[in-house]
Amino acid sequence: MLKLFFGLLLFINFQLKPAIGLNFDTSDPSVSLLQNRISNNFSKKYCNAIQNGFSKDEAMKSAIIKTENIISFSYNPQKKWIEKSDLANQIALQVVNNCGPSFGLIGKDGLNYFKSYFLEIYEKTTPDKNFSR
């Protein structure tokens, strides 16, 4: 009977004061906005280069360098919080949505391919730089 009483007491306590979750979303909206601006900028530059007849490697290098130059001179303190992998995901999504179907990038396979391709070329093009720092 005592166990039932304590069980009921604990149940009522948790109903009145639910346990705080361990997984908090600590992302800053300004970081997300900056990341979105960077990925939009990159996507426009890459898609325009492809439409102008650049090879995919030339378009990628050109878009990376132009976007990196813009970010390097940005005084936005939020850029240090952008993760390269998150940015690569966002860039892949933008490119696949904006111009991917015109050169065969469709769906999840297209996203995964472009993300890995972006990261590979990015490391070769700017080994000592980082989009976000």
55-100 tens-digit pLDDT: 999 999 999 988 887 776 666 777 778 888 888 999 999 999 999 9
Helix (H, G, I), strand (E, B) or coil at 83: coil
pLDDT of residue 108: 92
Is the distance from CB of 118 to CB of 73 less than 8 angstroms? Answer: no
b/e string for 39-69 if b means 16 or more Cβ within 10 A?
bebbbbbbbebbeeebeeeebbbbbbebbbe
Task: Calculate mean pLDDT across residues 112-125.
Answer: 91
The pTM assigned to this predicted structure is 0.71
Least confident span in 11-15, 38-42, 99-103, 126-130: 11-15
How many Cα atoms are found within 13 Å in the side-chain-facing hemisphere of 68? 17
Average pLDDT, the chain: 79
Contact predicate 106/96, CB 8 Å:
yes
pLDDT above 90 for 12: no
Of 116, 115, 81, 110, the closest CA to residue 97 belongs to 110
* Over residues 25-36, mean pLDDT: 72
